[in-house]
Amino acid sequence: AAGVIQSPRHLIKEKRETATLKCYPIPRHDTVYWYQQGPGQDPQFLISFYEKMQSDKGSIPDRFSAQQFSDYHSELNMSSLELGDSALYFCASSLGEDRVNEQFFGPGTRLTVL
């Protein structure tokens, strides 16, 4: 079965650079979530989209922005990168934004900021 696809899987950037992470949800899934997992930390919710509109916002820095496109894929744009942004970024998708709907997770993008 098709799963959530994230690209790139690994990304290395310098401080103050920008990065774009992409997430392709499971076909027919209309809701996308982004989570950030720092080293040794639990995943923290960043932001979510339902039907191309932002549906919830968590602890996402102002330097980050995200959107969901007409084909339901989502991109997380990160600017003025800081060392503390080094983390594993997970994307998840679900069918519908109801809280009882299972979120299916992608493999993550590991971002390293030097």
Classified as helix, coil or strand, 25 is: coil
Output the six-digit token pair for 22.
Answer: 């992409």
CB distance 29 to 51 below 8 Å: no
**Is 105 among the residues that bind another protein (CB under 8 A)?**
yes
- Comparison of 81 and 91: residue with beta carbon closer to another protein: 91
Nearest to 19 by CA among 2, 43, 39, 36: 36
**Is 107 among the residues that bind another protein (CB under 8 A)?**
yes
Among 24, 32, 33, 66, binds another protein (CB under 8 A): 33
**Is 18 among the residues that bind another protein (CB under 8 A)?**
no
Residues that bind another protein (CB under 8 A): 3-4, 31, 33, 35, 40-45, 48, 55-56, 58, 90, 92, 94, 97-108
